[in-house]
Amino acid sequence: MTAVALDEPAVTRPRGGVRTVYLWELEKLTAQWRIRAVAAVCLLAPFAFVLALKTQDTVPSDTLFGRWVHDTGYAIPGVVLGFAGQWAFPLLTCVVAGDIFAAEDHHGTWQTILIRSRTRGQIFTGKVLAAATFTVVVVALAGAGSIAAGVLLVGHQPLVALDGSLVSSGRAAELAALSWLCVLPPALGFTALGVLFSIATRHSAAGVMGPVLVGLLMQLYAYVDALDVIRHALLTTPFDAWHGLMSATPYYGPLVEGCVVSAVYAVVCLAAGYVLLRRRDFTKG
């Protein structure tokens, strides 16, 4: 416990420490080829998906909006969201979140950064903000990529919504953007889960794969006919909340519930992560 006493000089708490840590983390992230590759894949994968669809007559009719992929480009963001969103988002967000604390363990740099004049709280906040920023960027890139791929490669015809009503081109673009916005809360929830795994396991691979595994298990549960109550409390359920928007008579119940569930996961995971980091003795190296 000596480390706690040493690195918390309450009197000379440096100002702007979070900002410094945050900017430094962002600089480290943008310098990694791995992170750049993930960003590029998010933007370009929808284009590859649409091009693959265009070479064949069959449609992915087992996915919502799947049977409309040749009729309007606005079906593409919905298909990508339903098809890849569920399992891809936990992986994409945890590529950074699961690694951002464990990387310091991997490189053995905790002692180095803790003797700088930044508190553990500031380092924690800066790193979490950097991971959250990456999540927002990844979701934005994939959303923009899939809307652009749909509109550019298929067209901007009106969209048949989930209640059978015809949605005009402009409104369909709005709905596509809004539905991608709806996956941000659970994606950020998985970011928090990644942060917790990263701190708790002190191992990058576990930090990245742990939340992905949790996500897969939750999805598995969602597709078996079991207790409905538990399904409402799973972090993967909010990934479907956008369905409610795709209608002339939209419903927001799942969206509100999803935001609450995601917030609870985020708060619990971040609090647990912070407590673990705060009390950890790094002097043993």
Interacting residues toward another protein by CB under 8 A: 61-62, 64-68, 70-71, 160, 162-166, 200, 222-225, 228-233, 237, 240, 243-244, 246-249, 251, 253-254, 256-257, 260-261, 264-265, 268-269, 272, 275-276, 279
The beta strands (E) that lie in 163-253 are given as 166-167
22, with CB counted inside 10 A (0-12, 13-18, 19+), is buried
- Pick the closer one to another protein by CB: 17 or 198: 198
CB of 277 to another protein, least distance (A): 11
Task: Using DSSP bridges, classify how beta strands 166-167 and 159-160 pair: parallel, antiparallel or unpaired.
Answer: antiparallel
CB of 232 to another protein, least distance (A): 4
- Pick the closer one to another protein by CB: 20 or 247: 247
CB of 256 to another protein, least distance (A): 8
CA separation for the pair 21, 130 (Å, rounded): 9
CB of 101 to another protein, least distance (A): 14
Provide the token pair at 24: 């430094």
Contact 86, 190 (CB under 8 A): no
For 239-272, b/e burial (b = at least 16 CB within 10 A) is bbbbbbbbeeeeeeebbeebbebbeebbeebbee
Which residue's entry shows tokens 């000596």?
2
Q: How many helices (H) and strands (E) does the chain have?
A: 13, 2
Identity (one letter) of the amino acid at 90?
P
**Cβ within 8 Å of residue 49, ≥6 positions away:** 76, 80, 146, 149
- Pick the closer one to another protein by CB: 38 or 179: 179
- Pick the closer one to another protein by CB: 6 or 256: 256
CB of 164 to another protein, least distance (A): 3
CB of 131 to another protein, least distance (A): 19
- Pick the closer one to another protein by CB: 163 or 174: 163
Provide the token pair at 260: 């609450």
- Pick the closer one to another protein by CB: 61 or 117: 61
CA separation for the pair 116, 237 (Å, rounded): 41
- Pick the closer one to another protein by CB: 18 or 76: 76
CB of 245 to another protein, least distance (A): 10
Contact 242, 253 (CB under 8 A): no
